[in-house]
Amino acid sequence: MKTHIKRLSPLPALIAGLVLLLAGPVTAQVFTTLHSFYGVRDGANPFAGLILSGNTLYGTALFGGSSGYGTLFTINTNGTGFKVLESFNGGNDEACPVSGLLLSGNTLYGASSGPGSSLGALYSVKTNGTGFTTLHVFTPTSGPSLTNSDGGFVSGTLRLSGNTLYGASDYGGSWGSGNVFAINTNGTGFTTLHTFTATSVPRNGTDNPPYKNSDGAGPNAGVILSGNTLYGTTQFGGSSGWGTVFAINTNGTGFTTLHTFTGVSDGGWPFTGPLILSGNTLYGTTMRGGSGAGNSGNGTVFALNTDGTGFTNLHIFTATNSLLINSDGAAPSDGVILSGNTLYGTTVFGGSSGNGTVFALNADGTGFTTLHSFAGRPNLPTGLISSGAGLVLSGNTLYGATYSGGTYGDGTVFSLSFRPQLTIIHSESNLILTWPTNYAGFDYTGYTLQSTTNLGSAAVWATNSAVPVVVNGQYAVTNRISGTQQFYRLSQ
């Protein structure tokens, strides 16, 4: 049961007509660190997004664990029950899990980046930590252009249709620009659906634009699946070298470049954040561009129709000062999630401390709100605790992970809850109690106003008899003052 309590003492001597405001903000933000990572014990530096199943979160840490090659973990949404399901050992390319997880039934699918110069592997494991299986090991690359036959370094989440997994690799392929692939869930039938073409300057791992070509290079964010069509982004390539949005059929036909980023007004360098699809509209983020050319811009949130028309900047992140501080955040390295008509996401920099933000905005681009600015820890070498991992939403609570920060500097799992706040106004012989109907897409229906005369162990809370009415986006209840001390709360 979620409650928020306001106290009103007897006010027998109040002058008639006096208005007394006893409340603060219209919503209460509760930030909770659910877990702080500690290197060898349980992992370090969660890089990819969390996934949620019921009251259980699953995720990966890029490093740490018993062998130092990362972990796959689970934790309850209330912060209890943390468990390492797999500690990657560095053998057979089982190292540094870089991709987001996919859950199907009781099986998790993901990708590791591999030790040293390896381009990693695809794996599966049961949700109880048993049955770890390497599905495919990507072949070593050759030459400065990082070419091979099957790609590698899969940082985007795999997608599943039937018994077929789909994904995209950042490197490798015939030109070193990555590929889109399919593979059966038992590890057989690996197929390259599209190999991204050579860029004007061969990629050598430095990842500095421009790498220009016709179709894109480095699909670092992976793909999403709708029917028989895969949609994705590349962080480089295209006619300006600042990345593309593409579509391709699941049988490898019909590859189409839907949008080429210029690195200026429309943003550039869509990084690890996957696209999301609602109806015929794709939503995504770019880490750079927008308000300035190339690296001088702080990125965008954008929308695009699935046929490539209607590109729209929903939000352009503002300039930062020398300490990377601004009001709204900068460099949204991951994508956004959609709930109703509200998009939620994170940034790596910006905010009140320069360490990143959690934000919300409407799907039409209005109503941008900074939900949380990460405070940072000045004693860390980087000071960076911003989220490099995607958010998940359950009710009025967002869950995510930070790459660093926390008690030991190795990153955290966190929750961010938003609950309505009571406002109490005294007006003549009445009390007017109000709370918002919603905030930044969070729905506050279902809360009940209750009162009691004391807060002792035997306190009895009674539901308010007056039915709330909606006035200007606020629930409102009017009570007569009885002269008896009352404590009020919202309960759900």
**3-state SS class at 117:** coil
- Over range 442-451, report the average pLDDT: 91
Q: What is the pLDDT of residues 91-135, one digit of tens each?
A: 766 899 999 999 999 999 999 988 766 789 999 999 999 999 999
Residue 61 and residue 83 in one domain:
yes
Strand order in the sheet with 486-491: 3-8, 486-491, 448-452, 462-463
User: In whole angstroms, what is the distance from residue 258 CA to residue 154 CA?
Assistant: 22
Q: What is the pLDDT of residues 177-202, one digit of tens each?
A: 999 999 999 999 999 999 999 998 87
Residue 264 and residue 289 in one domain:
yes
User: In whole angstroms, what is the distance from residue 67 CA to residue 88 CA?
Assistant: 7
pLDDT range class, residue 6, cuts 50, 70, 90: very low
419, 453, 475 - which closes a domain: 419
Whole-model pTM: value is 0.90
Residue 273 and residue 259 in one domain:
yes
Residue 351 and residue 481 in one domain:
no
User: In whole angstroms, what is the distance from residue 332 CA to residue 359 CA?
Assistant: 10
Ramachandran region, residue 291 (left: φ > 0; alpha: ψ -120 to 50; beta: rest): alpha
365, 399, 419 - which closes a domain: 419
Look up residue 318 and give its DSSP letter: P
pLDDT at 172: 92
Residue 180 and residue 242 in one domain:
yes
419, 441, 474 - which closes a domain: 419
Measured CA to CA in angstroms, residue 46 lies from 35, 64, 71, 112, 291 at distances of 11, 10, 9, 13, 30
Residue 347 and residue 443 in one domain:
no
Q: Across all residues in the chain, what is the average pLDDT?
A: 88
Residue 239 and residue 373 in one domain:
yes
Residue 18 and residue 71 in one domain:
no
pLDDT of residue 67 exceeding 60, the answer is: yes
Q: What is the pLDDT of residues 277-315, one digit of tens each?
A: 999 999 999 999 887 665 678 999 999 999 999 999 999
- Over range 350-376, report the average pLDDT: 92
What is the length of the chain? 492
User: In whole angstroms, what is the distance from residue 127 CA to residue 247 CA?
Assistant: 32
User: In whole angstroms, what is the distance from residue 378 CA to residue 395 CA?
Assistant: 33
- Over range 169-174, report the average pLDDT: 92
- Over range 320-324, report the average pLDDT: 89
Residue 415 and residue 317 in one domain:
yes
Range of the domain at 461: 3-26+421-491
Residue 63 and residue 153 in one domain:
yes
- Of the chain, the percentage scoring pLDDT greater than 70 comes to 89
pLDDT of residue 397 exceeding 90, the answer is: yes
Q: What is the pLDDT of residues 32-61, one digit of tens each?
A: 999 999 999 999 999 888 999 999 999 999
pLDDT at 390: 80
CATH of the domain at 223: 2.120.10.60
Residue 356 and residue 335 in one domain:
yes
Q: What is the pLDDT of residues 198-220, one digit of tens each?
A: 998 876 656 566 789 999 999 99
- Over range 140-149, report the average pLDDT: 82
**3-state SS class at 294:** helix
Residue 70 and residue 134 in one domain:
yes
pLDDT of residue 379 exceeding 50, the answer is: no
In 3D space, the residue among 305, 272, 308, 50 whose CA is nearest the CA of residue 168 turns out to be 272
Look up residue 286 and give its DSSP letter: E
Measured CA to CA in angstroms, residue 16 lies from 367, 424, 425, 427, 433 at distances of 39, 16, 13, 8, 18
Strand order in the sheet with 312-316: 276-278, 281-286, 300-305, 312-316
- Domain count for the chain: 2
